A and B are shown apart, each in its own frame.
Chain A
Amino acid sequence: MQQWQRRPGFRLVDSIGSSALSSGTLYDKVWDLHQVAELPGGSTQLFIGLHLIHEVTSPQAFTGIRDLGLGVRHPERTVATVDHIVPTSSQARPFADPLAEEMLVTLERNCSEHGITLHGLGSGRQGIVHVIAPELGLTQPGMTVACGDSHTSTHGAFGAIAFGIGTSQVRDVLASQSLAMNKLKVKRIWVAGALQRGVYAKDLVLHVIRQLGVKAGVGYAYEFAGPAIEALSMEERMTICNMAIEGGARCGYVNPDATTFAYLKGREYAPAGEAWARAVAWWSSLASGPEAVFDAEERFDASSIAPTVTWGINPAQAIGVDENVPSLGETEPNERPLTEEAYRYMGLAPGTPIAGLAVDVCFIGSCTNGRLSDLQAAAAVAKGRQVAPGIKAFVVPGSEQVAAAAIAEGLDGLFREAGFEWREPGCSMCLAMNPDRLEGRQISASSSNRNFKGRQGSASGRTLLMSPAMVAAAAINGKVTDVRALLNA
């Protein structure tokens, strides 16, 4: 029998390797603190400080603990909301879609049975799980945060170790408040310089993914650091960490600093009174120190980044708004089959300028870009202008709190006057589990996070990812537009 030889050093998943090098990083400190036990075979039992659940990935997990005769170990560390399946035009119960209604009823029953707080529709606290946990002050530095959703990496913006899990792992966290995990290595993404006017956190993270690809983060946590990251607001940091997973990194984080503490102060679940000073002292001690050693590092200059748009079928297939769809010759040999598939699926020829590409639907929202500052940035573009004829444009606030704050500023009226629809909070057309979806081969300009084939609800629908301001610019002109031209007009 022919025997193929094993090549030395080949590893299936990088994370199975040693991470002894990354001593002194925030990731190491938080990991060490939350270690419960070493499990047979070398994985670690890790305590989960905050478990967020929603209607899509939890029902089978509750069935799982019920089948095992178990309860929820820490219901007070488990927080639920409903986001993926909620309609955004009318949220009256029962929902028109009986499957959506069944999912919410199931979540309500499970939370009630196990004593879990559910921030439901109309509570004033409902919204996309990755929007509400930070705004309620639930997400804090130094925590481990798990949720059955890959964009849980968002919470790393606070200096938490936050990652997505599957439903079997949701069951494990419900039952034990812990998970069997393998430690990741840490790759520092150092960003110098400053973002230029009209260039946003979304552009920065799309640029990083474009340069590194969708696989570079596999086996790593991304630590985002450097002057350009320190200058970002918390909402901008959440946008960056949210998309770490699109670069393959299961978690991304930013070291906590004065910006983090100022955001948290006074929030409902944040420490208060005498505990506040103790909390800030501990949080400050967690940041990766000057002695921290990283397993890898990549460096970028924010000042050279242009508004960035995806043209293909994964988030790394992105270009500056002033560039053309790349040719095969400009593509890494490994990536060429996927590039050719993207040409075919998107109906775009190499060399086509992305600016000027006509769009059909414009979506502002999602856990990436559905926060108040995102709506403000889009509103600054929409103000006094009109959505182009034939374009469907809609704004979905990330949460009831975001909606209330936007309405208090008059943003709902501003968007409506400009021809946008103003909707109720939810995940909406990011993944189209509710009635908001593309039809046929429609092209969307979308502030969400994934441009995968079929992602926005039509098997042939096409998605161009961009910043909320760029989505607003596309809505006004009916085509992909450099938002800087509108901001300067």
Chain B
Amino acid sequence: MIHGEPKRPGSACQPGQEGATLGRRGFLRGAALGGLGLAALGSLGGVIDASPSAAATQQPPAKAAHQWAMVIDLRYCNGCKLCTAACEAAHYLHEDQTWIDVFTMRNASGESYFMPRPCMMCEDPPCVPVCPVSANFRTDEGLTLVNQSRCIGTRICMNACPYQARYFNWSSPRPAPRQPFPQEPAWPVPQVEGTVGKCVFCAAMLPAGKLPECISRCPMGVLYLGDLETDVAVNGLGNTVKLSQFLADHDAVKFKESYGTHPRVFYILGHGQDLDTDTEGA
């Protein structure tokens, strides 16, 4: 049961790695100054500049080639849940690990409609700053990923996520055959017991131009993979749209926009459809 030293994270988590190193330097500087006791205020500069949280949530200055997003056209979703099945098959997940889940909603006239919910890939993800060991990080292409070799399983990110989009490995994961990609945050297959997993937009497939499994398997063309940088979006049927125009033309909304999470998943609502946008708790 005792697992060894977690392996170094793969290439996809370079930004997180960088953040951690900066964080260490920042911490040591802060701790040294804090150790002097009197220099509490003086040490702020050191701690602030490079605390891991700052590094983890800030947009890297270098412009990335892509900024991934998703568009979900609820007008065409028939609730077949093939996306969920495709995702679970590709990532070797248990049945209840619905990284993309399809919820049944009800509109004002009592008619039901369906709402697929992947990870929202928030621009200000609430899950990232709460992790005590910096296992969550955001790539410079706008994907929030989990470093499962780092994750210790406090599940506080599951608490922080307002979209119920995070799933824990409560038992041994389904065994997976040899994968085309190394096991890394961008392709967390097989899952790691005792850690949190979630939708990764099939991050390892994106550089090759392959659409995420849920998108390519959606028979209705509901799901689009978008690139905010090149301003295009494609669905599994090959329909290609100019992203900004598509969103504007159809009055796309973001789920629970009032939370300030700035999701990168956009919903296009059909007649009589609505999303939960109120602010919980507060």
Q: Do A and B bind each other?
A: no
Q: Enumerate chain A interface residues (CB-CB to B < 8 A).
A: none
